[in-house]
């Protein structure tokens, strides 16, 4: 009798377990063509999957970004060198900071840009198509007065 009860209980536990355990992370490097300081990346992912772009930049440079997606589902986080999504805190969190902005980079090294969707749409396994525009400038350019 114990085995009969254990099987349904195990089934229930497995069905309620997080789908994020099956999430895939795709990694790509961003490099600029010679003579340019900007690039547009396009892509798509589904559910709990995410895409992590690696980009090298120097301390004090300004990273400008804009992300567009279907139904505004795509969010973006930025991680400083030696920081990892899921382990460390982001230096910019797109779900609270927005989909357009700029960061003055605190360190030289390889930054991680994570593109993902929030849990409520990931749970529905929604597909996200996005376009990410990235620009790195050597200094912050202030608006003319």
Q: Identify whether 81 is part of a domain.
A: yes
- Residue 67's DSSP bridge partners are 132
pLDDT digits (tens, 9 = 90+) for 1-12: 555 555 454 444
Q: How confident is the model at residue 139 (pLDDT cuts 50, 70, 90)?
A: confident
What is the residue range of 53's domain? 19-137
Q: Identify whether 133 is part of a domain.
A: yes
In this structure, what CATH number is given to the domain that contains residue 74? 2.60.120.380
Q: Identify whether 9 is part of a domain.
A: no
Query: What's the burial of 50, exposed, middle or buried (CB within 10 Å: 0-12/13-18/19+)?
Result: buried
Counted domains in the chain: 1
| Mean predicted confidence (pLDDT) in 24-34 | 92
Q: Identify whether 44 is part of a domain.
A: yes
Question: Is-contact 79 85, C-beta < 8 A?
Answer: yes
**Of the candidates 132, 23, 40, 140, the residue with the CA atom closest to the CA atom of residue 86:** 23
| Mean predicted confidence (pLDDT) in 73-100 | 96
Question: Is-contact 8 14, C-beta < 8 A?
Answer: no
Q: Identify whether 115 is part of a domain.
A: yes
Among 7-16, 63-72, 89-98, the minimum mean pLDDT is found in: 7-16
Q: Identify whether 143 is part of a domain.
A: no
């Amino acid at each position: 009798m114990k085995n009969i009860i254990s099987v349904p209980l195990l089934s229930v536990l497995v069905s309620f377990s997080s789908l994020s355990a099956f999430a895939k992370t795709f990694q790509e490097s961003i490099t600029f063509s010679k003579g340019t300081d900007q690039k547009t990346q396009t892509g798509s992912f589904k559910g709990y999957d995410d895409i992590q772009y690696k980009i090298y930049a120097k301390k004090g440079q300004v990273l400008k970004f804009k992300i567009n997606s279907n139904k505004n589902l795509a969010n973006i986080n930025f991680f400083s060198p030696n920081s990892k999504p899921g382990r460390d805190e982001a230096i910019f969190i797109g779900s609270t900071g927005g989909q357009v902005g700029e960061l003055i980079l605190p360190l030289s090294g390889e930054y991680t840009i994570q593109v993902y969707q929030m849990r409520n749409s990931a749970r529905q396994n929604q597909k996200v198509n996005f376009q990410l525009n990235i620009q790195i400038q050597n200094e912050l350019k202030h608006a003319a007065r």
